[in-house]
Amino acid sequence: MGKDNVEIIAVEATQANMMDYEEASRSFDWADVEKRFSWHETGKVNLAYEAIDRHAASERRDHIALHYSDPVRSESYTFEQLRQQSNRAANMLRKLGIGKGDRVFIFMPRTPELYFTLLGIIKIGAIAGPLFEAFMETAVKDRLADSGAVAIITTPKLVERVPSHELPELQHVILVGDEQEITAPYIHFAQEMQEASTEADIEWVDLDDGLILHYTSGSTGKPKGVYHVHRAMIQQEYTGRIVLDLQENDIYWCTADPGWVTGTSYGIFAPWLNGVTNVVRGGRFSPQDWYETIGRYQVTVWYSAPTAFRMLMGAGDEVVQQYDLSSLRHVLSVGEPLNPEVIRWGYRVYGQRIHDTWWMTETGAQLICNYPRMDIRPGSMGRPIPGVEAAIIDDAGNVLPPLRMGNLAIKTPWPSMMYKIWNNPAKFEEYTRIPGWYISGDSAYMDEDGYFWFQGRIDDVINTSGERVGPFEVESKLVEHPAVAEAGVIGKPDPVRGEVIKAFISLREGYTATEELKQEITRFVKEGLSAHAAPREIEFKDKLPKTRSGKIMRRVLKAWELELPTGDLSTIED
């Protein structure tokens, strides 16, 4: 793709962060970022101290750190209040004999208690294992057993899915709920918190001591325990500043659940390391509630995901007009490729350029991004952040020239790179099999200006009549059609063509699945993209299989198609 036919949404000079990308990349040194942390002077390391206590000891002490709301609760906490609540949680855990290196899991809906606890775990040097509340018993058991967790904080309702009798290492089950629901041997969270002191000694750790264990979402197979260490804070603070563009008085809202890495790296660490007000909304997705949240708190920076933006787009322009979104200054997306159609729509109705960011659970923080001060090329993930080098390499490790599709790889190391995969060194080696590089498992190409373009996961790239087709491009064209709400595209084995393209499509409200519509959609892709990328087969579905974090699971579509076992489904939606 040459420069001439690239669509560009140019930057407007209204952003607060006017960092010059080229200049920042030239002069960049991670050592300069390290100077921003108190441990640089004191030698005392703990992420929770940097995120909370440091601000509580400064003039930001009474600044709002957390605005929480759900359909029944609405609460706000200052940095000082969060310091005290997380100290209580730390003391509660210490009293049980829990300490440095122990794995402590959190399995509950988003509430302030979740945030107090997670910070408390980190304060005592233990390792937090957040689990999304929708997990069923087998998924919970697999993760607790694999990690050897000693404690779990959950609710009276969810504890039914924690098979303690099958988990010999699990010693403490703490429940967040009403007193009458909680009896021994369960520990009553509220009571322990109330009795605990608001002062606690912080466990000072090493930069390479354990912080968090995230089991990834399972788009491609069995979930793996990605282990991160305190060092990750360096890149989380930095990207919070230069990619999220967080400024002193921002009101920031990340819509991700802490069960996924976005909900911790950017739903907890990045905003608080930067001392910024963080909005958390509990409860289910609804366009009205989401827009209302932006208006109520006057959100300035908003980080969400393609699936949410597609649903908001599906809800229509009229809904947007009923709310006050004028506070928004900067909007970002992560998790899946961001369809150009969604970017155009966002620009039209929000007046905001939605900035795509690419990274993974394993990478701990953002790596390839669209910056505030950068022209957006819809469909591109952007350029590597200063301090990070990315390339497209072939399977032998040769760096490929621009415009060639291949393995998206990152030069090792960077501060937030995973430290290991828990209990699975062989898996870790798959990522690092080519010396000097981290192999992401994603397929992409780089254009002549250094912008990266995601094509699909390596396993999802389709080989049809000798052409390599990335499913993302086809899906993006499909969702441009007015009838299409969402699309998942796979390669189906074919004796003549190697593979043919098959599209699974869910329709927007008001459209009926007919043979004519299939033909019209096929024609639409043929004319708008290319004949060889047009689906040979279309199947309409009420819903596409997605992970709980909202990603279309192409491996499940493929398994359906080939009538193969679907593999691990612990992370699938209902």
Beta bridge partners of 9: 376
**DSSP single-letter state for residue 398:** P
**Pairing assessment for the beta strands 74-78 and 64-69 based on DSSP bridges:** antiparallel
Residue of 168, 179, 187 whose CA lies nearest to 93: 187
**376 close to 355: Cβ distance less than 8 angstroms:** yes
**95 close to 188: Cβ distance less than 8 angstroms:** no
Minimum Å gap between C-beta 472 and ligand ATP is 7
Give the nearer residue to ligand ATP in terms of CB position, either 116 or 437: 437
Judged by the rule CB under 6 A, the positions of this chain that interact with ligand ATP are 216-221, 223, 260-261, 334-337, 356-358, 360-361, 381, 440-442, 454, 457, 551
Minimum Å gap between C-beta 282 and ligand ATP is 21
221: number of CA atoms within 13 Å, CB side?
Answer: 7
Give the nearer residue to ligand ATP in terms of CB position, either 506 or 547: 547
Give the nearer residue to ligand ATP in terms of CB position, either 287 or 364: 364
Minimum Å gap between C-beta 364 and ligand ATP is 10
Give the nearer residue to ligand ATP in terms of CB position, either 112 or 379: 379
Minimum Å gap between C-beta 134 and ligand ATP is 15
Give the nearer residue to ligand ATP in terms of CB position, either 172 or 310: 310
Minimum Å gap between C-beta 207 and ligand ATP is 23
DSSP per-residue string spanning 198-244 = S------B-TTSEEEEEE---SSSS--EEEEEGGGHHHHHHHHHHTS
Give the nearer residue to ligand ATP in terms of CB position, either 55 or 555: 555
Give the nearer residue to ligand ATP in terms of CB position, either 217 or 235: 217
* CB atoms inside a 10 Å sphere around CB 285: 13
Minimum Å gap between C-beta 420 and ligand ATP is 15
Q: How far apart are CA 534 and CA 475, in angstroms?
A: 10
Minimum Å gap between C-beta 429 and ligand ATP is 16
Sign of torsion over alpha carbons 289, 293, 294, 296: positive
**181 close to 156: Cβ distance less than 8 angstroms:** yes
332: number of CA atoms within 13 Å, CB side?
Answer: 33
